[in-house]
Amino acid sequence: MSVIVERHVVAGQQTHSWEQHSIDGKVHCRRFHFAVSSVSFAFSIMATIKFKALCLHGYRQDGAAMRAKIGGLRKALKKVEWVFLDAANLASTSETATDPSTERSWYNNIDNGTGFAYDSAEEPTGFEASVKAVDDIIAAQGPFDVLISFSQGACFAQLYLAQKAEQGPLPFKAAIFCAGFIAQAPSLLPLASKELSIPSLFIHSENDQIIPAAATIAQSKKFSGSATCLHTGGHGFPSASILKPALVEFSTANGLTA
């Protein structure tokens, strides 16, 4: 198991404004506006965001890959402590892999337990190993405030939270999901169908060609009072200029500030 920990102590600053739209009780943030000023009030708002986050990467990625993907966000949120965890299982190796050990999977569900497909209903292998990896990092480096997850990691994060909800209080104050989806395996459906109550932000792209937006929207409906941040950039986190104002609003609303 590999873990990346990053700590910042210097406060950053940024002005921001954003338009908010509500549909069926959920917040949809579509347009964002930024202006930089070294003495602006909104600069200080960015500096107040403070939480400790556990980050779960996507399929065929690892913690280092996710760290790189949100580099702009890490630089903007300088009071956030980021911990990036590697999934417990190896993924099926891609043709372009230079180091197969960096291609990880939270669980596998095709090709006799060696590959993964988001819409497969085959039974998973390696799921409990990844649950243990998250349990272990919480025990070793917790407590954490926020669970941040991407793609397959977001699918796994939902399952993990559902399992923990059956056992007692959730080990996070809030959760952020990007390009997630609902697991389809029969053995996972009791967890996947569970309604969860935790402040949550769902990020997805209208142009995602890997995980359809409808799949992430369906996942968000399992969480009461969830907010949604839409973007057009494809399968991944949006640019920091889009994501920062959404996180400012989400963090402020849920007490994730200094």
For residue 153, tell me if it sits in a domain.
yes
State the Cα–Cα distance between residues 178 and 237, nearest whole angstrom. Answer: 7
Q: What amino acid positions are annotated as catalytic residues?
A: 151, 208, 235
**CB contact at 8 A, 156 and 181:** no
Between 124 and 23, the higher pLDDT residue: 124
For residue 59, tell me if it sits in a domain.
yes
Q: How large is the average pLDDT for residues 165-172?
A: 97
Which has the minimum average pLDDT: 45-54, 132-141, 220-229? 45-54
State the Cα–Cα distance between residues 14 and 76, nearest whole angstrom. Answer: 8
For residue 156, tell me if it sits in a domain.
yes
Map residue 19 onto helix, strand or coil: strand
State the Cα–Cα distance between residues 204 and 103, nearest whole angstrom. Answer: 23
Q: Record the pTM.
A: 0.83
Give the pLDDT confidence score for residue 32 in this predicted structure: 36
Between 198 and 243, the higher pLDDT residue: 198
Highest mean pLDDT pick, 9-13, 22-26, 88-92, 95-99: 88-92
Nearest residue to 107 via CA among 123, 119, 121, 125 = 125
Give the pLDDT confidence score for residue 57 in this predicted structure: 98
Q: For the chain, what is the mean pLDDT?
A: 84
Q: What is the DSSP letter of 115?
A: B
The CATH number of residue 138's host domain is 3.40.50.1820
**% the chain with pLDDT above 90:** 68
**Tokens standing for residue 198:** 């935790």
The single residue listed with the structure tokens 């989806």 is 181
Total count of domains within the chain: 1
Confidence of residue 245 (pLDDT cuts 50, 70, 90): confident
Give the pLDDT confidence score for residue 224 in this predicted structure: 93
How many beta carbons lie within 10 A of that of residue 91, not counting itself? 23
Give the pLDDT confidence score for residue 46 in this predicted structure: 59
For residue 44, tell me if it sits in a domain.
yes
Please give the residue range of the domain that contains residue 35.
3-253
Q: What is the pLDDT of residues 75-101, one digit of tens each?
A: 888 899 999 999 999 998 777 767 889
Give the pLDDT confidence score for residue 176 in this predicted structure: 98
Confidence of residue 163 (pLDDT cuts 50, 70, 90): very high
Confidence of residue 24 (pLDDT cuts 50, 70, 90): very low
Q: How large is the average pLDDT for residues 28-51?
A: 48
For residue 258, tell me if it sits in a domain.
no
The single residue listed with the structure tokens 């602006």 is 40
Which has the minimum average pLDDT: 11-15, 19-23, 80-84? 11-15
Between 13 and 213, the higher pLDDT residue: 213
For residue 40, pLDDT beyond 70: no
How remote is the C-alpha of 231 from its chain's centroid?
Answer: 15
**CB contact at 8 A, 201 and 250:** yes
For residue 111, tell me if it sits in a domain.
yes
Indicate the length of the chain as a whole number.
Answer: 258
State the Cα–Cα distance between residues 42 and 91, nearest whole angstrom. Answer: 42
Give the pLDDT confidence score for residue 76 in this predicted structure: 86
Question: No. of H helices and E strands in the chain?
Answer: 8, 11
Nearest residue to 177 via CA among 35, 50, 58 = 58
